[in-house]
Amino acid sequence: MSLLALGVAIAHLVAPDLKIDNVTVALLVIAVVPWLRELFTSIELPGGLRVEFRDVEQRIEAAEAMADAALVGGGAGSGDADDPAALEDVRRLAAEYLAVRADMRAGSARTQRMNGIFARLVRATQRLAAPDLAAWLASPDGGLRLAAYARLYAVPDAAALRPLADAVTDEPLAFGQYWGIRALDKVVDLVGPDEVPPQVVRRLEDCRPNGADRAHLLDRLIAKIHALT
């Protein structure tokens, strides 16, 4: 959009008998608007058109609160004994996740399907009293790793901090890494940001996710840890 607006502005300038007017100014402003987020909360264009920059952080936090209510609130919680069918359900959902990844083209439809599977994994893993999270986190099976992230997202466990950090930083699947970071954030809150070992912090700092959403979540988590250390 920025390049298109600049191109139209230049064409408007070089065309015969045209001068710099409100149209040109408006197009130039539109071109640079995406780069002004950090400097302005709003900007007014010629003709009275006003562009508002919303607080992205507040929207993310609101979405996360809704996700917590929908995912964790609907879970049964870990009890003293396993639901006999729970482990079978977890393995079935883990396999379904991998099948969806393999069979569907990357995009919003696939992400929506995988989010639905994750929500069901959250509920299924809460029916297990003591799942083998260490084995799941170290598993070559991306579905079982996602199951571990789902469990720790719903039921954070301080003992899982290091293996979870290791799994998240090595996670090759973008969707799994996203939810792994979200789960890690909850475990860090449980442990206390000031109690996170320096080795874990360095591991997180050395991780460079490709996706903007994952990079944002990880940067926010690291900032939270540093703020209290």
pLDDT in tens, 153-162: 999 999 999 9
Question: Given its phi and psi angles, is residue 156 left (phi above 0), alpha (psi -120 to 50 degrees) or beta?
Answer: beta
Orientation of helix 108-125 relative to helix 86-103, angle to 10°: 170
- This prediction has a pTM of 0.71
28 neighbors 6 (Cβ within 8 angstroms):
yes
Residue whose C-alpha is closest to residue 209's, from 195, 221, 225, 192 = 221
Q: Which residue pairs from 55-60 have beta carbons closer than 8 angstroms and sit at least 24 positions apart in sequence?
A: 60/216
pLDDT average, residue stretch 113-126: 94
Query: pLDDT above 90 covers what percent of the chain?
Result: 59
22 neighbors 48 (Cβ within 8 angstroms):
no
Cα–Cα distance measured from residue 142 to residue 224, given in angstroms and rounded to the nearest whole number: 28
Dihedral in degrees, nearest 10, Cα atoms 73, 164, 193, 59: -50
174-184 per-position pLDDT tens digit: 999 999 999 99
Rounded CA Rg of the chain: 23
Residue whose C-alpha is closest to residue 150's, from 168, 185, 131, 123 = 123
pLDDT at residue 178, as a whole number: 95
Confidence category of residue 54, pLDDT binned at 50, 70, 90: very low
DSSP label of 192: -
What is the overall mean pLDDT for the chain?
79
pLDDT at 48 over 60: no
Which residue intervals of 33-172 are DSSP H helices?
56-71, 86-103, 108-125, 133-137, 142-154, 161-170
pLDDT at 213 over 80: yes
Confidence category of residue 21, pLDDT binned at 50, 70, 90: low
Cβ atoms < 10 Å from Cβ of 85: 11
Confidence category of residue 211, pLDDT binned at 50, 70, 90: confident
Residue whose C-alpha is closest to residue 142's, from 171, 105, 121 = 171
pLDDT at residue 173, as a whole number: 97
pLDDT at 144 over 70: yes
59-83 per-position pLDDT tens digit: 455 455 555 545 555 555 555 567 7
Cα–Cα distance measured from residue 166 to residue 154, given in angstroms and rounded to the nearest whole number: 19
More confident residue, 213 or 92: 92
Degrees, nearest 5: CA angle 141-179-121: 65
Instruction: For residue 138, give both structure tokens.
Output: 């170290």
